[in-house]
Amino acid sequence: MIPRYSRPDMAAIWTPEARYAIWFEIEAHATDALAELGVVPKSAAQALWAWWATKPAIDVAAIDAIEAVTKHDVIAFLTWVAEQVGDEARFMHQGMTSSDVLDTTLSVQLARAADLLIADIDALLAVLERRAKEHKLTPTIGRSHGIHAEPVTFGLKLAQAHAEFSRHRTRLVAAREDIATCAISGAVGTFANVDPRVEEHVAGKLGLAIEPVSTQVIPRDRHAMFFATLGVIASSVERVATEVRHLQRTEVLEAEEYFSPGQKGSSAMPHKRNPVLTENLTGLARMVRGYVTPALENVALWHERDISHSSVERYIGPDATITLDFALARLTGVVDKLLVYPERMQKNLDRMGGLVHSQRVLLALTQAGVSREDSYRLVQRNAMKVWESDGQLSLQELLKADPEVTAALSPAQIDEKFDLGYHFKHVDTIFDRVFGG
Amino acid sequence: MIPRYSRPDMAAIWTPEARYAIWFEIEAHATDALAELGVVPKSAAQALWAWWATKPAIDVAAIDAIEAVTKHDVIAFLTWVAEQVGDEARFMHQGMTSSDVLDTTLSVQLARAADLLIADIDALLAVLERRAKEHKLTPTIGRSHGIHAEPVTFGLKLAQAHAEFSRHRTRLVAAREDIATCAISGAVGTFANVDPRVEEHVAGKLGLAIEPVSTQVIPRDRHAMFFATLGVIASSVERVATEVRHLQRTEVLEAEEYFSPGQKGSSAMPHKRNPVLTENLTGLARMVRGYVTPALENVALWHERDISHSSVERYIGPDATITLDFALARLTGVVDKLLVYPERMQKNLDRMGGLVHSQRVLLALTQAGVSREDSYRLVQRNAMKVWESDGQLSLQELLKADPEVTAALSPAQIDEKFDLGYHFKHVDTIFDRVFGG
Amino acid sequence: MIPRYSRPDMAAIWTPEARYAIWFEIEAHATDALAELGVVPKSAAQALWAWWATKPAIDVAAIDAIEAVTKHDVIAFLTWVAEQVGDEARFMHQGMTSSDVLDTTLSVQLARAADLLIADIDALLAVLERRAKEHKLTPTIGRSHGIHAEPVTFGLKLAQAHAEFSRHRTRLVAAREDIATCAISGAVGTFANVDPRVEEHVAGKLGLAIEPVSTQVIPRDRHAMFFATLGVIASSVERVATEVRHLQRTEVLEAEEYFSPGQKGSSAMPHKRNPVLTENLTGLARMVRGYVTPALENVALWHERDISHSSVERYIGPDATITLDFALARLTGVVDKLLVYPERMQKNLDRMGGLVHSQRVLLALTQAGVSREDSYRLVQRNAMKVWESDGQLSLQELLKADPEVTAALSPAQIDEKFDLGYHFKHVDTIFDRVFGG
Amino acid sequence: MIPRYSRPDMAAIWTPEARYAIWFEIEAHATDALAELGVVPKSAAQALWAWWATKPAIDVAAIDAIEAVTKHDVIAFLTWVAEQVGDEARFMHQGMTSSDVLDTTLSVQLARAADLLIADIDALLAVLERRAKEHKLTPTIGRSHGIHAEPVTFGLKLAQAHAEFSRHRTRLVAAREDIATCAISGAVGTFANVDPRVEEHVAGKLGLAIEPVSTQVIPRDRHAMFFATLGVIASSVERVATEVRHLQRTEVLEAEEYFSPGQKGSSAMPHKRNPVLTENLTGLARMVRGYVTPALENVALWHERDISHSSVERYIGPDATITLDFALARLTGVVDKLLVYPERMQKNLDRMGGLVHSQRVLLALTQAGVSREDSYRLVQRNAMKVWESDGQLSLQELLKADPEVTAALSPAQIDEKFDLGYHFKHVDTIFDRVFGG
């Protein structure tokens, strides 16, 4: 966890205090259920909740000190709680195993993390939609392979990102559902010493599903799917970040990250405005992706469980969720305040001397009866002249001066092919698909 | 693609012939729609389908030869088709771009691959269910950390795998839905030269959804999610494989891969029966996982598209699906024919002198009013003697001879705690959860 | 292995015929040593070599057919050889285990692959050196964050790549040395049934080192290091490829991949010249990187060995080496024939109105006694005007018109700071470092 | 950085204080060199060192506060230093760029981290050697595929690990050399504003090599190689950890992690002694491996540099080195105190009824003139009886009762093949190879 890449709400999920609070709630809810089943006295549960109602501070250092002796975290915690609550506390954890607490806690943490991430995506989607609609018809050049292709609108670029993150929202909801299960099934998952109704009760109270079959641990395919989903989302963060980085290049400069007045871009080159936020996002995406493979390697635990997953999750539980949360919020800020330069977009669009309309001419020639091969040749030979002039010559004019072309198309027909609006006639359709009618 | 790790149905999806057949269908369906819209003559579409009805062999070598000149695969294909169909073929591909064909084809291939993988999982689930029910109450020791813990049944192990692969089925269905989209939107996705109704028509014919907003290419977050899902599934293949490898260890030997009479385990040690299939599955899982990161790296294409994803997909499209298909089928075979040794399971269960029942005694002592700490101490000191005797001493007898224990529990109460059936009383509940009531 | 990304020499290393030929040589050399030690008759070795001298074709199908029955590849091979050579062949493989043959063969294959890759790098280095020297003093803008920074030369860019690949050469030589070991140590590496002198003899004949301690297998940390090294090299391939992709962007266009006359860039946009080779290299780099993790996961084999590494190596042995070989050769071709446009470089260099010299002015002001903060402020306020004019205003002129600046620097002093040559005075030093004096 | 997986010396390298101290030293050494060259007054360097000689505490909070305004870390630091040192400080950083400081600092940190890791490996090697020699001739069964193969000694297992980590030491020394370079070359690496002799001077003072050609940044192939090497080492940590986990399994129990008297293995099963340290190491290895790919992805920076690598390195710089340092130390402790049970090793060795000697009998039969196929059949049919008796029958006795066998081998000859010492006759040779003569 890198403080500069952390936001407080997500970081709060992963503090020792937050973890111990969930531990307590699991134990106390379980004690409720055990009392209801007559396994432990109702006074035991009451004592726990009465203490909890005092909103006691959790003394992490004290628990750590006990763990230093027992070398067992859950026993250390139970011991500390017993010191606070008194004799009734001995009924806690009856028939349960440490993993019942640990794994269910991780489910709660990951579910809460997912909730924040879903909210992050919602915020991003809102900003993408606003800016997409703002630039719905702002013409800009579409580029394939980094080369000018045909016109698009800047709004379409953002609509594409919106559709992509809408999919991520769906995937994240599924991943959250996948991870949000409760296992209280005892030492090897047989419920030998704890009735399945305890699990059902605790699950219900915590808003979790029951784990159909656990083996001391909740199976790690769930976690693997969760972290893999974060890795996919991070890759789309990189995609949008890369787009901004490209647009901010000196020669392109169609958009820029917001540049606050006090900000210095470089100690050496004061004129520079660098896309440092989106470059940073590119790096953060690498990290979130990097956590996928360890999560996948965690799946194949030995027999009913080994504990190799645990150290991995101490890293990636916080690191993957905190980093992605930060990245999504940063990306939202970037898009929200992105400086967009429509004039520059138009200028770039014009700089190729009309080459971007060549496809239309090609089609028109074919439809006018010229063979595909000849059409291609005619367009290409004129296009090459424009290309080599670095946009100083005009394709439109060259075509009108080429007798083989004008044999098939009249000057008016040629002119008609250079209408920019032609390309945007279906923008409404696409926006309807993405944002609804 | 490694022939020995390929099965014919999956491999068939990825042949050049299969790819070209999909190309043709896309082009021909698109021509239908274009004809319907009046853009091209209906005779053009008819000519294409008439030729296709003759079930023509696709001459891959001829197409390759054209591509060697044009250095463009789709143009090469269209040229070859035009040679076969004649003049009417010039109306094909009107307003479309190569990626419309290529990306939609990849969607069809991945959707078909997903269908085979879903069927693979169904076959695996059927075998897991059969064998789980067969061994529903076959006692075996549950192990955490590789150490004997408490009894489970062999059926429970398989039920756990069944639940895990049921989740994978759900995820794979979602991944299939995610990937099964059709984009026919032209050079930069604006439908400038091709009406969106063409896309709708082709999508419907191919059983695909329309891509809401494409940018020449179908966005690669879809593919990333698809391959990430395969990586998660592969990790569970490794989990089950690892379980079998453990069970087949000389000292454990509770189960074995089926060993055919003619098979030689080792050129040097004729007595050896090695779990080579599941070791092989472990390696195959590594490969399928290894394809996840390249798929994630493919997401951040530049602007409307670059073609860096293409070479990656030439590898991982076939390799990930073929390998996982093979692995799932191999795993199904392993589980189906797995030699299970209940006697040996019982023998291993007994070898620890009853230590596996220590948890029950611990609970009984607590419930009889002994403090948690004292209970733990009492059980532990007797358990340690058994442990150090390598199972020659009996915990049951030692406890009955320990006055501090018998002060709290009668011999009969102690004996009751060593009942194996006690652990299996909720097996029905778990099986109901996994396999239904 | 994707045929279009394969070159024949590297692919030849991985054919069954090549593998069996190495198997034979190992067995025959071992038989020589065994004969020398008196373990087997000298006639046995003579019979093997006599047969081999006839340059027999290796009948892969026949061996496969035997393997289909025995389910053991080495036994199948030995059986087939025995069928060819006759009775004397029964002395082959005395005291050896299959892995002695398999692992030593893999060492030979990887060492040969390394030799080809080293030659590939040498070819790349030669081309980089030639083109670096050709453009040693071709001015171009250096860019950080995609933003114009200060002038560099195009030769410096290539010199940087040269230095990077020189390091890779060193690493690859080390990786080759690491992998080139021979193990003939029997079933668990104890030499119980085969004298260590056999290993020494075979190693010497094959140009390998002896493996100091093997455990049936050669330890997989060696292979992991090998494939990790390939992954690092591939990442540098991507770096150079990314540079070319950037330079070829429409707005930049300082360099282009060679464009052959017959080549069509796009079926729809005939004017397009896309950097498809370097985009392809970007994807290929992802694949070679993707093979690193499976290789790392192969290290932790169980006990003296398990066979999980084997399937992984069937993929990545050929795929990683063939792909990187192809990528290096393709990159060499790209650099060799790269179209470089010095005029365009100069044009881009000039387009920022002299902003690239701002660092020099900043220093001059500081050295003239202006505080760092004030110097920064003075430069920045003029630089911002130039920036906002999109390079229409000249920093040089603005500074000369700024009284606070001219209070510290005379116009002549200001002019002096805009000398391009100033930046190149240490190019010789750098070239000496990279290419020698 | 997870505190529980951190050791103080390594963590100290990555504190802000340590980083700023290196920054200062770089700046001060550079000022020395600049003074020597006459670029800045000698008094400037003297003022810096005079202040430094007072061992000033570095006020991280104050620097952070400045950075919050300037949004630039190096400027913030320089500003703070100037506040402390006074007017002379304005000569600092003359002609340098932030990356000169940042990248050279990272080199120093990684080189120091490498030094600690090399020392870790040396400590591990010492322990491995001691324990290997202690158990040089302790017989234990060698296992391939988890199945009993032939006898080895426990010392051989440790010797193998020693050889493996010796290789890692060599690789780490190479990786350290690779990473330990100094770049002070200015904004785009041309030395335009800073003489190369400054770089040479600082490099010499810091014990670094000069970077032959930098581009504002030190090229990231160096870092990639460094982190890749850590990933390979981590994989071997997992290998040894996996071996211990296997040996500690209930059914095997040939070795155990040291179990301190106060330690509780499980809250529920007091008899359990779990290999939690080595399971933990398995997870830590996953993390160190997980950092390799982000490091590889960092190589392809755009043009002369972008800053996407920076966030990645904030994570993996500390996390990879701290985690591996901890893991190596933990592994050293595990091996150092490993409880080894030779009696149990012997017991396991004997449990297969002599099957482990079958290879020797096979060879003897072949050498006695029986065909390979018949020899195999004879050994296999007796071996199978032993196998199916679960070690109750003795291969030695069965062979002596098999007339087809005794037709070729006398009882005495058969007995001779069951001598355990036979397998250890080359242990000296192997130990000589690993530990020297």
pLDDT digits (tens, 9 = 90+) for C316-325: 999 999 999 9
pLDDT of res. A266 = 52
**pLDDT digit string (tens) for A358-383?**
888 988 998 899 998 899 889 988 88
A145 is catalytic: yes
Q: Which residues of C touch D425 (CB under 8 A)?
A: 191-192
Instruction: Please give the backbone phi and psi of residue C71, each rounded to the nearest 5 degrees, phi first.
Output: 55, 35
Q: How far apart are CA C89 and CA C91, in angstroms?
A: 5
B251 to chain D, closest Cα gap in Å: 6
D394 to chain B, closest Cα gap in Å: 13
Mean pLDDT of chain D: 94
The pairing of strands B181-182 and B209-210 is: parallel
Partner C contacted by D98 (CB < 8 A):
no
Q: What is the 3-state secondary structure (H, E, C) of D295-346?
A: HHHCCCCCCCECCHHHHHHHHHHHHHHHHHHHHHHHHHHHHHHCEECHHHHH
Average pLDDT over residues B4-28: 97
Residues 6 or more apart whose Cβ sits within 8 Å of residue C77: C20, C23, C63
pLDDT of res. A263 = 58
Query: Are B235 and A429 within 8 A, CB to CB?
Result: no
Query: Are A270 and C143 within 8 A, CB to CB?
Result: no
Partner C contacted by B245 (CB < 8 A):
yes
Pick the range with the lowest mean pLDDT from A110-124, C162-176, C357-371, D38-52: C357-371
Fill in the DSSP letter of residue B267: S
Domains with residue ranges and CATH for chain B:
1-94 (1.10.275.10), 98-259+270-351+424-437 (1.20.200.10), 355-417 (1.10.40.30)
Instruction: Please give the backbone phi and psi of residue B340, each rounded to the nearest 5 degrees, phi first.
Output: -110, 135
Q: How far apart are CA B253 and CA B339, in angstroms?
A: 10
Selected catalytic residue, list A144, A145, A271, A303: A145
> Which 112-141 residues of chain C touch chain B by CB within 8 A?
none
Overall pTM > 0.90? yes
Task: Give yes or no for residue C50 having a pLDDT over 60.
Answer: yes
* Angle between helical axes of B73-85 and B98-134 (0-180°, round to 10): 100
Q: Which residues of B touch A159 (CB under 8 A)?
A: 213
Average pLDDT over residues D22-50: 96
Q: Which residues of C touch A398 (CB under 8 A)?
A: none
Distances (CA, A) of C93 to A308, B318, C77, C198: 41, 38, 11, 11
Q: Which amino acid is at D97?
A: T
Average pLDDT over residues B292-318: 98
Partner C contacted by B290 (CB < 8 A):
yes
Q: Which residues of D touch C221 (CB under 8 A)?
A: 164, 167-168, 232, 235-236, 239
Query: Are C426 and D145 within 8 A, CB to CB?
Result: no
Task: Give yes or no for residue B265 having a pLDDT over 70.
Answer: no
Q: How far apart are CA A237 and CA A234, in angstroms?
A: 5
Selected catalytic residue, list A266, A308, A311, A371: A266
pLDDT of res. B268 = 44
pLDDT of res. C267 = 43
Residues 6 or more apart whose Cβ sits within 8 Å of residue C25: C205, C206
Task: Give yes or no for residue A314 having a pLDDT over 60.
Answer: yes
Task: Give yes or no for residue B113 having a pLDDT over 50.
Answer: yes
**CB neighbourhood size of C163 (10 A):** 22
C185 is catalytic: no
Average pLDDT over residues C228-233: 98
Task: Give yes or no for residue D272 having a pLDDT over 80.
Answer: no
**pLDDT digit string (tens) for A221-230?**
999 999 999 9
pLDDT of res. D95 = 86
Give B316's Cβ-side CA count (13 Å radius): 31
pLDDT band of residue A318 (cuts 50, 70, 90) is very high
Q: Which amino acid is at B121?
A: I
Task: Give yes or no for residue A265 having a pLDDT over 60.
Answer: no
Average pLDDT over residues D380-402: 86
Average pLDDT over residues D354-381: 88
Q: Which residues of A touch D96 (CB under 8 A)?
A: 268
Average pLDDT over residues A154-177: 98
pLDDT of res. A267 = 44
Report residue D122 as tokens.
Answer: 């040396």
Average pLDDT over residues D127-135: 98
Report residue A26 as tokens.
Answer: 């699991």
Distances (CA, A) of C144 to A276, B113, C353, D217: 10, 44, 18, 10
Query: Are D167 and C235 within 8 A, CB to CB?
Result: no
Q: Which amino acid is at A116?
A: L
Share of chain D above pLDDT 90, in %: 83
Query: Are A279 and D307 within 8 A, CB to CB?
Result: yes
DSSP string, B65-99: HHHHHH--HHHHHHHHHHHHH-GGGGGTTTT--HH
Q: Which amino acid is at B75?
A: I
pLDDT of res. D268 = 44
pLDDT band of residue D270 (cuts 50, 70, 90) is low
Task: Give yes or no for residue A408 having a pLDDT over 90.
Answer: yes
DSSP string, A370-385: --HHHHHHHHHHHHHH
Q: How far apart are CA A296 and CA A289, in angstroms?
A: 12
Selected catalytic residue, list D145, D260, D267, D271: D145
CA dihedral for B398, B402, B408, B409, sign (positive or negative): positive
Under 8 Å CB pairs connecting chains B and D tally to 133
Q: How far apart are CA A204 and CA B42, in angstroms?
A: 62
Fill in the DSSP letter of residue C136: T
Q: Which residues of D touch A294 (CB under 8 A)?
A: 283, 286-287, 289-290
Report residue B194 as tokens.
Answer: 């091709």
Q: Give yes or no for a contact between B277 and B257, defined as CB atoms under 8 angstroms apart.
A: yes
> Which 164-203 residues of chain B touch chain C by CB within 8 A?
186-187, 193
DSSP string, A384-420: HHHHHTTT-S-HHHHHHT-HHHHTTS-HHHHHHTT-G
**pLDDT digit string (tens) for C297-311?**
999 999 999 999 999
Greatest CA separation for chain A: 102
Length of chain C as a residue count = 437
pLDDT band of residue B390 (cuts 50, 70, 90) is confident
Under 8 Å CB pairs connecting chains B and C tally to 150
Task: Give yes or no for residue A69 having a pLDDT over 50.
Answer: yes
Partner D contacted by B146 (CB < 8 A):
yes
Share of chain B above pLDDT 70, in %: 97
pLDDT band of residue C266 (cuts 50, 70, 90) is low
Q: Give yes or no for a contact between B188 and B194, defined as CB atoms under 8 angstroms apart.
A: no
pLDDT band of residue A170 (cuts 50, 70, 90) is very high
**pLDDT digit string (tens) for C92-151?**
998 899 999 999 999 999 999 999 999 999 999 999 999 999 999 999 999 999 999 999
Mean pLDDT of chain B: 94
* CB burial of residue D54 (10 Å; 0-12, 13-18, 19+): exposed
DSSP string, C173-218: HHHHHHH-EE----TTSS-SSS-HHHHHHHHHHHT-EEPSS-BSB-
**pLDDT digit string (tens) for C365-408?**
988 999 988 998 898 888 888 877 877 889 999 999 999 999 99
pLDDT of res. B105 = 98
Average pLDDT over residues A188-199: 95
Q: What is the 3-state secondary structure (H, E, C) of chain D?
A: CCHHHCCHHHHHHCCHHHHHHHHHHHHHHHHHHHHHCCCCCHHHHHHHHHHHHCCCCCCHHHHHHHHHHHCCHHHHHHHHHHHHHCHHHHHCCCCCCHHHHHHHHHHHHHHHHHHHHHHHHHHHHHHHHHHHHHCCCCEEEEEECCEEEEEEEHHHHHHHHHHHHHHHHHHHHHHHHHHCEECCCCCCCCCCCCCHHHHHHHHHHHCCEECCCCECECCCHHHHHHHHHHHHHHHHHHHHHHHHHHHCCCCCCCEECCCCCCCCCCCCCCCCCCCHHHHHHHHHHHHHHHCHHHHHHCCCCCCCECCHHHHHHHHHHHHHHHHHHHHHHHHHHHHHHCEECHHHHHHHHHCCCCHHHHHHHHHHHHHCCCCHHHHHHHHHHHHHHHHHCCCCCCHHHHHHCCHHHHCCCCHHHHHHCCCHHHHHCCHHHHHHHHHCC
pLDDT of res. C71 = 78
The H or E element spanning position B182 is strand B181-182
Q: Give yes or no for a contact between B186 and B95, defined as CB atoms under 8 angstroms apart.
A: yes
Query: Are C160 and D242 within 8 A, CB to CB?
Result: no
Residues 6 or more apart whose Cβ sits within 8 Å of residue C121: C165, C168, C169, C172, C233, C328
Is residue A149 classed as helix, strand or coil in its secondary structure? Answer: strand
Q: Which residue has the higher pLDDT, D336 or D376?
A: D336
